[in-house]
Structure 1
Amino acid sequence: MSAPVAFSSQATAQRTCTKTTVGAFGFSPVKTCQFKSDEMKIVKQQLCVRARVRNKLYKGGKLKVVSSSDTVPTPITPSDIIKQFYACINKKELNQLRGLISDDCLFEDRSFFKPFQGEKDVMDFFGQLIDSMGQNIEFKIGNVCEGDDFMAGVTWHLEWNKKQIPFTRGYSFFECSMEGTKLIIKRAQGVIESPIKPGHSSLILLKMVTSLFDAFPKATEWFLKSPDAILKAILKVYSMVLGPFISPFLAWYIKYWKFMQYLLSSALKILVFLSKIFDK
Structure 2
Amino acid sequence: MSGRRAARVLFGRELASIVRSRSYLLLFAGVAAVIIGIGIVGGGIDAGYVPTAVDLLLPLELLVPAVAFAIGYRSIADDIQRDELSVLETYPVPDWAYVAGVYVGRAVALVAMLGLPLFVVGILVWLSAGPDTTIVATHRGIDSPLLFGRFVLLTLAYALMVLAVVLALSALASTRKTALTFAVVGLGGLVVGLDLLVLRGVGAGWVTGDTLITAIAASPTSAYRGLVFETVLYVAFETETGYASPVASTFSLLVWTVIGLSVAALGVSQR
TM-score bracket, normalised by the shorter chain, equals under 0.3
Higher relative contact order (CA 8 A, sep 6+): 2
Give TM-score scaled by structure 1 length. Answer: 0.21
In the superposition, the TM-score normalised over structure 2's length comes to 0.22
Larger strand proportion, structure 1 or 2? Answer: 1
